[in-house]
Amino acid sequence: MPNQDKQRGVQQVDVHRIPCSGPGDLSGVQALLDQGVLRATDIVAVMGKTEGNGCVNDFTRDFAATAWCHFLAPHLDCTPAEVAQQVALVMSGGTEGVLSPHFTVFARRWVPAPAAPPGKRLVVGIAHTRDFLPEEIGGAAQIDCTAAAVQEAMQDAGIADAADVHFVQIKCPLLTAAKVSAALGRGATPITHDSYESMGYSRGASALGVAAALGEVARDAITHASVLADWSLYSACASASAGIELEGNVVIVLGEAEGAASPYRIAHTVMQDAIDGDSVRQMLQGALDSNEAVTQRLVNLLAKAEASPNGAVRGARHTMLNDSDINATRHARAVVGGVLASVVGHTALYVSGGAEHQGPAGGGPVAAILRVLP
């Protein structure tokens, strides 16, 4: 029985995929509020795709997060800054190729238990780590704090068994020139001086924290030297996105629990490489009854993308890692966004770049949130 510490009934999660005309456009959200379809106080997490470069100086993430804070503050009766402590706001930059900017909003409420238990249904939980020092990014502190926060978020979601976790979204910090400089001034040694590279370290350590929390990798198998080096260590559920707009990690756990009343389920798989649409097709066929259309049931795909670190896809050289005009994560999002859109027929998908220790090298986790038809 999930959510035993909450006496208000059983958990019911609603998921809304809402398009936007720019990072600060929440008119679609307002419309749902106006229609009574969504209640602002129920919003527990937002996963946004914003149209920046998804790299160091992508301010569309901060812009969108700030817009959400200003938007929700009067509803939550707190300051804009306090909103980010109550709601997990994860903005992932980069809508390269066909990807369409949008927000996926998770709303959670507690309802009376339904007459007939519906089987496993979607649940969601969130948690925050403490802020990290610049020199902690990419290292043990970030791994361990993330692992603890994942377990906290599982508890918040009412998930007891790691096998019921299907996707763990992390938002994690990066190193800027200013932060590196400050750390060096204190005699501390950041893991890299390069901002763009720090994003990879932060994502990689966060993903290993997820893997440890879910038992996918034994914690003591992860050493300082593993991060961004031993690609055999990975989580099949982790999705980490680095951003300039925060100093600690935010964690969203998506999974299933018996007894929840949500009209959604969630499934996941792993793309073996950036063009592995077949794994996604199989996951969808497994999760759906054969005669139901994907278009009717799919709310969103949540996926990670990366340029394979060995410089090749199925044996043929790619040029993403040597491209000094377009960062590799941008290429990777464009590819995986296109592949997934060709499978499911729409383009407002959550595809996030940089899949270090998130799925196998060159591949990445993909989760599907599916509507349960009445």
Contacts to a second copy from residues 135-164, by CB under 8 A: none
Residue 186 Cβ vs a second copy, minimum distance, rounded to whole Å? 14
Among the residue ranges 36-44, 64-72, 155-163, 246-254, the one whose residues contact a second copy (CB under 8 A): 64-72
Stretch 268-287 residues interacting with a second copy (CB under 8 A): 274-278
Q: Does residue number 341 form part of the binding site for a second copy (CB under 8 A)?
A: yes
153, containing H or E segment: helix 140-157
Report the SS3 class of residue 108. strand
The half-sphere exposure of 75 on its side-chain side, counting CA atoms within 13 A, is 18
Answer yes or no: 226 catalytic.
no
In the complex with a second copy, which residue's Cβ is closer, 214 or 339?
Answer: 339
Q: Does residue number 296 form part of the binding site for a second copy (CB under 8 A)?
A: no
Q: Does residue number 66 form part of the binding site for a second copy (CB under 8 A)?
A: yes
Q: Does residue number 334 form part of the binding site for a second copy (CB under 8 A)?
A: yes
Which residue has 């096998």 as its token pair? Answer: 163
Residue 131 Cβ vs a second copy, minimum distance, rounded to whole Å? 16
Q: Does residue number 67 form part of the binding site for a second copy (CB under 8 A)?
A: yes
In the complex with a second copy, which residue's Cβ is closer, 21 or 291?
Answer: 21
Stretch 178-237 residues interacting with a second copy (CB under 8 A): 178, 181, 193-197, 228
Phi, psi of 351 (to 5 degrees): -120, 120
347/345 Cα distance (integer angstroms): 7
Residue 248 Cβ vs a second copy, minimum distance, rounded to whole Å? 18
Q: Does residue number 363 form part of the binding site for a second copy (CB under 8 A)?
A: no
> Burial level of 28, CB count in 10 A (0-12/13-18/19+)?
middle
Residue 71 Cβ vs a second copy, minimum distance, rounded to whole Å? 11
> Burial level of 114, CB count in 10 A (0-12/13-18/19+)?
middle
The single residue among 9, 28, 63, 141 that binds a second copy, judged by CB under 8 A, is: 63
Given 235, 241, 262, 352, the catalytic residue: 241
Nearest 5°: CA angle at 286, between 281 and 290?
90
Give the amino acid at 239.
Answer: S
Cβ-defined contacts of 63-68 (< 8 Å, 24+): 63/23, 63/24, 64/23, 64/24, 64/91, 64/103, 65/89, 65/91, 65/245, 66/24, 67/23, 67/24, 67/25, 67/26, 68/26
The single residue among 5, 77, 220, 325 that binds a second copy, judged by CB under 8 A, is: 325
Residue 200 Cβ vs a second copy, minimum distance, rounded to whole Å? 9
In the complex with a second copy, which residue's Cβ is closer, 179 or 265?
Answer: 179
Nearest 5°: CA angle at 199, between 208 and 181?
120
* Segments of 112-179 assigned E as strands: 120-131, 165-173
Residue 170 Cβ vs a second copy, minimum distance, rounded to whole Å? 20
Q: Does residue number 299 form part of the binding site for a second copy (CB under 8 A)?
A: no
Stretch 233-262 residues interacting with a second copy (CB under 8 A): 244
The single residue among 11, 146, 327, 358 that binds a second copy, judged by CB under 8 A, is: 327
Q: Does residue number 120 form part of the binding site for a second copy (CB under 8 A)?
A: no
> Burial level of 295, CB count in 10 A (0-12/13-18/19+)?
exposed
Q: Max CA-CA distance within the chain?
A: 63
The single residue among 1, 8, 22, 37 that binds a second copy, judged by CB under 8 A, is: 22
Given 49, 171, 179, 304, the catalytic residue: 171
Q: Does residue number 360 form part of the binding site for a second copy (CB under 8 A)?
A: no
Residues annotated as part of the active site: 171, 241
